[in-house]
Amino acid sequence: MLLTGFGPIALLLLVTVIIGLFGNTMSLFVFSRRNMMRSSIGVFLLALTCVDIVLLILSVFTFVVPVLPIWQQNDPDWQIYTAIMLKTAYPLNMIAQTCSVCLMLAITTERWIAVCRPLQVKSWCRPGRSARMCATIVIVSILYNAIRYFEFQLVWANGSVVSFQKLLRDPEKSRWYYVGYYTILYNVTHFIFPFTVMTIANYQIVTTLVRRKKSCPLLTTQQLKEQKTTVMLLMVTTAFVICNTLVFSLNILESVFPKFSAEWIGTFSVLNDWANYLVVFNSASTFLIYLIFSAKYKQTVLVACRRWRGKVREGSWSNATGLTSLPAHKKELICTMSMK
């Protein structure tokens, strides 16, 4: 779904994407550290960060570029660009979205095992198992969404693309696909089932933590770390559910009342724009949750910033004194002499 016009929402979305790419790049650096990769949850969060980066990049081409004030009215280039995006970027976006949903389910399951079944953590929550799970999620997501490449067909004229037309997405010609896969299966696999599982699992996690705190007020250092990690991941999954609720509601509304989008085109367009923004906001804002709730994440970022700042200062001083081209032992000698 495209944004309907370049206005405050499109501008806000572009700013959100820029901030999100910066934050997720920072998360990519943190979760790719060796100490982070030693835990199963670290592997899942690294995979989720990669998926979020892909979603943010694709959102620029699918949601922002088509509504930039660079197109003229009835511009044929806009038709060509939209056609190419629907044929290429749209299926990739759906693959990334499926990966995101499955990873959220995997993260929720991992936390449920860690909190509600602590004796099974060593056998189930291992980095190698998590890495294989992430690879399986990517493969399944590609296979599940491969059919989306046939939803639209490019229209060619004189050897070049001029527009597009609906193929499987045409409800009259492909009713079985529109009702069975696009409507029912998609809503069940991407909203109803994962939202239900995450809600039930998170409820059991919260009740278990509350019960444990009442029965044993004094927790060990390791238990406190696990509890903080659990709270952080609860916030991540809760934010995911909240930000995707509007998309789910619009999909259900459009499926049950197919004439709604045509009769209430203005209202539907505004809701559609905000739904797209909330999905992008969710991918862009996870690093803020990590910064607030994860001491290890915050510490890794601060150490990296200090090292980078130190290298910048050292490089600036070396350039100013003309030491960059000298051997290391001569640099050390000159630095020692300059300090005296």
pLDDT beyond 80 at 39: yes
Q: How many structural domains does the chain have?
A: 1
Structural domain includes residue 298 = no
Q: Give the Cα separation of 333 and 318 in Å (integer).
A: 13
Structural domain includes residue 255 = yes
Region at 6 (left for phi over 0; alpha for psi -120 to 50; beta for the rest)? beta
Low-confidence winner among 42-46, 267-271, 278-282, 325-329 (lowest mean pLDDT)? 325-329
Structural domain includes residue 132 = yes
Residue 326 or residue 94, greater confidence:
94
pLDDT beyond 90 at 68: no
Find the CATH number of the domain harbouring 193: 1.20.1070.10
Average pLDDT over residues 227-250: 90
**pLDDT tens digits, residue range 16-38?**
999 999 999 999 999 999 888 88
Structural domain includes residue 313 = no
Structural domain includes residue 302 = no
Structural domain includes residue 314 = no
**pLDDT tens digits, residue range 201-219?**
999 999 998 888 777 766 6
Rounded percentage of the chain residues whose pLDDT exceeds 70: 84
pLDDT beyond 60 at 328: no
pLDDT beyond 80 at 239: yes
Residue 212 or residue 312, greater confidence:
212
Structural domain includes residue 333 = no
Range of the domain at 222: 8-293
